[in-house]
Structure 1
Amino acid sequence: MNNKQLYLRMAVVGSILLGFYLLAAVVVSGLTGFPLLPILLVGIVLLPAFQYKLGKWLATRGAEEMPETGQYQEIHHMTETLCQRMDLPKPKLMVMEMGTPNAFATGRKGAGVVVVSTELLAILERDELEGVIAHELAHIKNRDVITMVIGQSIGTIVGYAAYFIVTALGERSMASIILGMVASMLANFLVMLFVLAISRYREYVADADAKAAIGGNGDPLARALEKIALGSEGRESTVDDSVAALCIFNSSGGLLQSLLRTHPPAEKRIQKLRS
């Protein structure tokens, strides 16, 4: 699967999400009598902005800013070089105990943050860490965090639309309210399946961009993923699910693991990096 295929898949899924949102906004407008434009404004601008600010604060609240001297000096120099190659302003670097070796990026281009765990720094060689940081920088450059926040906002709006439809068509009763809540959860779940698909695609793209940034050699990042996966076995992450979705490695799943996971299987990413 090349990058063009990945971008095409992301565009298709994004178009489906946009269709869900526009339909939901029209329905909410029709059932409540609110003008359509303010609903669109809330769903595309205000709600994502609030979720973005809150999510960034929650993700970094347990992290400490990485000093530019001492043991971290080389990491700052490495990041500056990568940012020059990727035409990206240098983000804030932070360090955090996560319970497992991991890293994540949050924020947007010009106001990004890259957080690495102390557990990660303890096991990676320099070139492997360079691959991981390049991967996180790619997420910031590609505006992945903003994309995911908008997707979650669409899920919220679609869920409300489903609730309004069910309660408007039924009698004003407790049963109608319960059915509306169930419909809302199911609608939100359906939208999130598409959001999670984008999440998996963006990991492949970030891997490919990181590979290009470190000279076209994907082996350092592949080795890093192998070490991260091995180092995570039998250890419990201390970050919550919302932050785990941002991390370079997330092994969580569910009953429908292939659909509900936020990341592709590590072995597939490693294989693609080495191909």
Structure 2
Amino acid sequence: MRHTGLKLRMAVVGTILFAFYAAAGLVVYAMYGPGVIPLVVVGSVVLIGFQYKVGKWAALRSVGAEDMPEHGEYSRIHQEVGSMSRDMGIDKPRLMVADMGVPNAFAVGRKGAGTVVVSTELLRILDRDEVDGVLAHELAHIANRDVVMMVLGQGIASVVGIVAQFVVLLAGDNDLADFFLAIIVGNVVQFIVMLFVLAISRYREYVADADARRAIGSGDPLARALEKISRGAEGRESKVDDQVSALCIFGDGGSMLSKLVSTHPPMEKRIERLRT
């Protein structure tokens, strides 16, 4: 799918992330010389690969996701997902169901090995066309490689944060105060890098909504689904942890601070866009 706006934003943020990564590399180069650079590169690849593999497994395990049977009450969902996947040019993902405490859904993996998880609570409160809208949204995330790009951004933020910690430790006296200062500086640097990743993540939600609207021919079913999901989550305790919540179709974003660090744009804005 062609998304000029997303590509331009990715180019800008990608350049900024590369600049942070290059700066971290230059610091390591200055401290240890050129021989350590290959180790930094290999270590970065291993770290990001580890985060991707373990993150996917942990997300599914944390919600107790189970495979969705292809026959019986879920047969229509499998057929619809198969059809939409072909239209989007991706392999049909593995479908799973879980009790999340609230109506929600999320996708993990890449085009050739994706997984979509929907909550039993979501299936109970949504009509068929609304479920299709949610599924189309999650398939769009897989088609657009959103999960992979999110993990890549988080990996770069982690590497830069780790380098910042080492710089503080080596520049100090290696006492307890330097240790705590290194942790604080590393977290602050990592947070600053993640702000750029989160900004792209919020825009990707709009893109996935738009792709879902094209896939099912209308934005109204997904808009109605988002309204029901938002109402259905009120007063309920979610079983989804913060890491998995970043992947879900429903996320928070009320105050200015939460909007800044949220992975999702405000729900009302998403609904408004789907209906215009």
The TM tier, using the shorter chain, reads over 0.9
Structure 1 runs, 4 residues or longer, greater than 3 Å off = 252-255
**CA–CA distance in 2 between the matches of 1:58 and 1:167?**
32
The 8 Å contact of residues 254 and 266 in structure 2, kept in 1 or not, is answered as no
- Taking the TM superposition and a 5 Å limit, the aligned residue runs for 1:187-226 are 187-215=189-217, 217-226=218-227
The CA deviation at 1:38 is 2.5
The CA deviation at 1:253 is 6.6
The CA deviation at 1:175 is 2.0
The 8 Å contact of residues 103 and 114 in structure 1, kept in 2 or not, is answered as yes
Worse overlay, 16-25 or 251-260: 251-260
Structure 2 unaligned segments of length 5 or more: list them.
none
- % of aligned pairs identical? 58
| Residue in 2 that maps onto 1:127 | 129
In the alignment, residue 190 of structure 1 is paired with which amino acid?
I
RMSD of the TM alignment (CA)? Answer: 1.7
The CA deviation at 1:106 is 0.2
Q: C-alpha deviations, 1:130-166, integer Å up to 9, x for none?
A: 1100110111111111111111111111111111222
The CA deviation at 1:255 is 7.4
| Residue in 1 that maps onto 2:86 | 84
The 8 Å contact of residues 31 and 168 in structure 1, kept in 2 or not, is answered as no
In the alignment, residue 14 of structure 2 is paired with which amino acid?
G
TM-score normalized by the length of structure 1: 0.94
When residues 252 and 266 of structure 1 are mapped into structure 2, their CA distance, relative to the original with a 3 A threshold, is: closer
| Residue in 1 that maps onto 2:106 | 104
When residues 253 and 48 of structure 1 are mapped into structure 2, their CA distance, relative to the original with a 3 A threshold, is: farther
**CA–CA distance in 1 between the matches of 2:174 and 2:226?**
53
The 8 Å contact of residues 105 and 113 in structure 1, kept in 2 or not, is answered as yes
SS of residue paired to 1:107: strand
| Residue in 1 that maps onto 2:72 | 70
When residues 185 and 240 of structure 1 are mapped into structure 2, their CA distance, relative to the original with a 3 A threshold, is: same
Q: C-alpha deviations, 1:101-143, integer Å up to 9, x for none?
A: 0000001111100000000000111111111001101111111
| Residue in 1 that maps onto 2:267 | 266
SS of residue paired to 2:250: coil
Q: C-alpha deviations, 1:40-67, integer Å up to 9, x for none?
A: 2321x21111111111111112111000
**CA–CA distance in 1 between the matches of 2:11 and 2:226?**
27
Q: C-alpha deviations, 1:154-193, integer Å up to 9, x for none?
A: 1111111111222222223222222222111110111111
**CA–CA distance in 2 between the matches of 1:117 and 1:29?**
48
- Taking the TM superposition and a 5 Å limit, the aligned residue runs for 1:90-169 are 90-169=92-171
In the alignment, residue 134 of structure 2 is paired with which amino acid?
V
| Residue in 2 that maps onto 1:21 | 21
| Residue in 2 that maps onto 1:42 | 43
The CA deviation at 1:37 is 2.4
